[in-house]
């Protein structure tokens, strides 16, 4: 009799532990996304192990032992957690992101058949208040921030973020080769960002000309916005500090680079830009995202039709 050959058991993925599962889950995502999501998972693991997030070893927790009770307890914990940075309770946005990170990881683990159950399938993430209107600066506030910024690099950074609507991560990775003239003689920038998507945005002539002067003879592979100390690209945290200080000089607290992106969207729509064009320029996945800016600053409301009070 001939021997019967038994085929090896097929697996979708070989996973030796939580660290490897997280690596598979994050594979292909942007560097910034990987850092943020891994940190969110560390908060979850740290909670279950009773350790600080920075001190945990991911493999110390076997995700196959996690139950719905654990995930619910973590969500309850987030409701009462105080931020070590601000000393205030975690915002709904932060709680939502951390909850969604756990849900995504456990769903992924179940889909590749490493986890028998998805313990977070019935868990609902918090729905934060829509405070977009509070993070849209006026044109006067933008102009004041730029006018009161005397450092040439920082002023150009402010102008670039507002004029292009670029994300801070896209600016961090920006090189001079990404900025070039287009066929109409204007400037254009190629931005590579969220979702590994590339888009091209026109740069207004005045800003484009000032960028060319600022470049001087910098090589094409050189970062556009350099750190003065190390001679390397400004990091996200450094860019955030520059924008925050520019806001403070104008008497506005808590301004972040994303506020300039929000303002770009709102102001361009106010000035008649087609929503589809704004969607393309900002790299929004859907027109619904772009339409939120119109809803944040409506020019029509039933409140205009009631009896004056």
For residue 235, give the CATH number of its domain: 1.10.443.10
207-221: average pLDDT: 93
Integer-rounded Cα radius of gyration of the chain? 24
Model confidence at 24: pLDDT above 70: yes
Model confidence at 82: pLDDT above 90: no
The tally of domains found in the chain comes to 2
Q: Is 280 a catalytic residue?
A: no
For residue 202, what pLDDT is reported? 86
For residue 225, what pLDDT is reported? 95
Model confidence at 4: pLDDT above 80: no
Assess whether 168 and 283 both reside in one domain: yes
Q: Are 201 and 165 in contact (CB under 8 A)?
A: yes
Percent of the chain with pLDDT over 70: 85
Q: Is 110 a catalytic residue?
A: no
Assess whether 32 and 63 both reside in one domain: yes
**Is residue 219 assigned to a domain?**
yes
pTM: 0.66
Q: Is 135 a catalytic residue?
A: no
**Is residue 172 assigned to a domain?**
yes
Q: Which residue has the tokens 């192990």?
A: 49
Specify the higher pLDDT residue, 136 or 162: 162
270-274: average pLDDT: 81
3-state secondary structure of 187: strand
When pLDDT is cut at 50, 70 and 90, the band that residue 192 belongs to is: confident
Range of the domain at 185: 133-296
**Is residue 38 assigned to a domain?**
yes
Q: Are 267 and 138 in contact (CB under 8 A)?
A: no
Question: Annotated catalytic residue: which of 175, 258, 280, 292?
Answer: 258
Question: Annotated catalytic residue: which of 98, 159, 261, 267?
Answer: 261
Instruction: Find, among 29, 25, 1, 28, the residue nearest to 13 by Cα.
Output: 25
Q: What is the mean pLDDT of the chain?
A: 85
58-77: average pLDDT: 96
CA atoms of 71 and 57, how far apart (whole Å) = 19
Q: Is 284 a catalytic residue?
A: yes
Q: Are 111 and 104 in contact (CB under 8 A)?
A: no
147-152: average pLDDT: 96
Q: Are 163 and 146 in contact (CB under 8 A)?
A: no
**Is residue 120 assigned to a domain?**
no
Q: Is 261 a catalytic residue?
A: yes
Q: Are 227 and 235 in contact (CB under 8 A)?
A: yes
DSSP code, position 265: H
Assess whether 145 and 286 both reside in one domain: yes
Q: Is 167 a catalytic residue?
A: yes
């Amino acid at each position: 009799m001939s021997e019967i050959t038994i085929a090896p058991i097929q697996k979708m993925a070989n996973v030796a532990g939580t660290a490897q599962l997280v690596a598979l889950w994050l594979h292909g995502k942007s560097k910034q996304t990987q850092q943020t999501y891994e940190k969110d998972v560390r908060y979850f693991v740290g909670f279950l192990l009773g350790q600080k997030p920075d001190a945990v070893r991911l493999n110390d927790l076997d995700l196959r032992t996690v139950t719905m009770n654990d995930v619910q307890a973590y969500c309850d914990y987030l409701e009462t957690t105080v931020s070590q940075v601000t000393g205030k309770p975690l915002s709904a946005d932060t709680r939502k992101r951390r909850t969604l990170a756990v849900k995504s990881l456990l769903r992924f683990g179940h889909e590749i058949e490493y986890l028998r159950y998805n313990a977070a399938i019935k868990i609902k993430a918090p729905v934060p208040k829509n405070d977009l209107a509070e993070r849209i600066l006026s044109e006067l506030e933008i102009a004041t921030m730029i006018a009161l910024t005397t450092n040439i690099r920082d002023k150009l950074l402010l102008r670039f973020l507002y004029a292009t609507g670029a994300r801070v991560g896209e600016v961090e990775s920006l090189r001079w080769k990404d900025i070039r003239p287009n066929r109409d003689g204007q400037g254009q920038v190629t931005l590579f960002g969220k979702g590994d998507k590339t888009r091209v945005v026109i740069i207004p002539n005045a800003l484009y000309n000032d960028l060319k002067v600022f470049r001087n003879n910098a090589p094409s592979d050189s970062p556009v916005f350099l750190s003065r100390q190390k001679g390397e690209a400004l990091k996200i945290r450094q860019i955030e500090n520059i924008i925050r200080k520019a806001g403070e000089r104008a008497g506005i607290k808590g301004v972040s680079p994303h506020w300039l992106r929000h303002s770009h969207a709102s102001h361009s729509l106010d000035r008649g830009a087609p929503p589809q064009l704004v969607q393309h320029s900002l790299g929004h996945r859907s027109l619904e995202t772009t339409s939120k800016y119109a809803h944040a600053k409506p020019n029509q409301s039933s409140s205009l039709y009631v009896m004056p009070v």
